[in-house]
Amino acid sequence: MNSVWQEPCIFSPSLICFDLCNLEEQVHTLERLGVKVLHVDILDGHFSPSMPLGLDTVRQLRAKTDMEFDCHVMTTRNEFFVDELLDIGVQQIVFHVETEPHADGLLNKIRARGVRAGVALKPATPLDSLDFIIEKCDTVLLMLINPGYASSSSEKQAVYAERKIKQLSDIISGRELGTKIEIDGRVSEENIKKYGGSEVGIFVTGSTCIKKSDIEGSVKNLNNIRRSIVGGEL
């Protein structure tokens, strides 16, 4: 497994926040700038009221780049999409516990293919849903806003986000696990500065951090922030 996942303060730029008509070009720009991980949201239009990317787009992009694909499955039929992503050849898959009756089994299936596995939680989903499966999670993704509301100016990061991140970090350290916390939803420079040196290992960087009109400048700025926290490049 690529050692990039062992690095601290990983940035995972969100593919759906880029120019969807010029994805290959923009992905190559990210790769040229040294970005190693790409966040790929898979939505079915049911779990969340949008469907910006299709599986065929992801499959074609997989052939165009060596970046690690960090896939966030937001669907009501998780296993179908997980199977497709495993066949495409992605490096990490997290799915939502809220729609998965067989979370333990699906984690086993993903891990058996040598792919990083994990679960995602909506803002109000309690952490006790992780009690019997967290040992099998390479990553737990915490959504800081409700899925489907990213474009709504009235939707803010959950007021209890900080408490939830801290509690999850305590659970992971208490069980002596290597599970990474990933946060997604209006992730800001302030979030990165606050959590990048300790609790959070992966930041989904969307339009708040990376402007599709100035990808290079945005990535350089993130690089500077990371360097100030842990040293090194993206």
**What pLDDT score does 166 carry?**
98
CA distances in angstroms from 14 to 24, 68, 81, 103, 185, listed in the order given: 14, 12, 18, 24, 10
The rounded distance, in Å, linking the Cα atoms of 8 and 19 is 28
Separation of alpha carbons 202 and 37, rounded Å:
10
Q: What is the pLDDT of residue 197?
A: 94
Residue among 114, 117, 203 nearest 157 (CA)? 203
Going residue by residue through the chain (234 aa), what tens digit of pLDDT does each one get? 678 999 999 999 999 999 999 999 999 999 999 999 999 999 999 998 888 899 999 999 999 999 999 999 999 999 999 999 999 999 999 999 999 999 999 999 999 999 999 999 999 999 999 999 999 999 999 999 998 755 566 678 999 999 999 999 999 999 999 999 999 999 999 999 999 999 999 999 999 999 989 999 999 999 999 999 997 666
String of DSSP letters for 40-82? EEEE-SSSSS-----HHHHHHHHTT--SEEEEEEE-SSHHHHH
What six digits make up the tokens of 167? 């509690």
Please tell me the distance from the alpha carbon of residue 121 to that of residue 132, in angstroms, as a whole number. 15
Strand pairing class (10-13; 68-74): unpaired
- pTM score, whole prediction: 0.95
pLDDT of residue 2: 72
Rounded distance between C-alpha atoms, residue 181 and residue 56, angstroms: 29
Domain boundaries, the chain: 3-229
Q: Does 3-229 carry CATH code 3.40.50.10490?
A: no
Q: CB–CB of 192/184 below 8 Å?
A: no
Distance CA 122, CA 196 (A): 21
Structure tokens at 233: 């490049």
**Bridge partners, 204 (sequence order):** 12
Extract the tokens encoding 158: 């959950």
Separation CA 208–CA 63 (nearest Å): 28
76 HSE (CA, 13 A, CB side): 7
CA distance 51 to 67: 23
**How many C-beta atoms lie closer than 10 Å to residue 116's C-beta?**
21
How far apart are the C-alpha atoms of 191 and 211, rounded to whole Å? 17
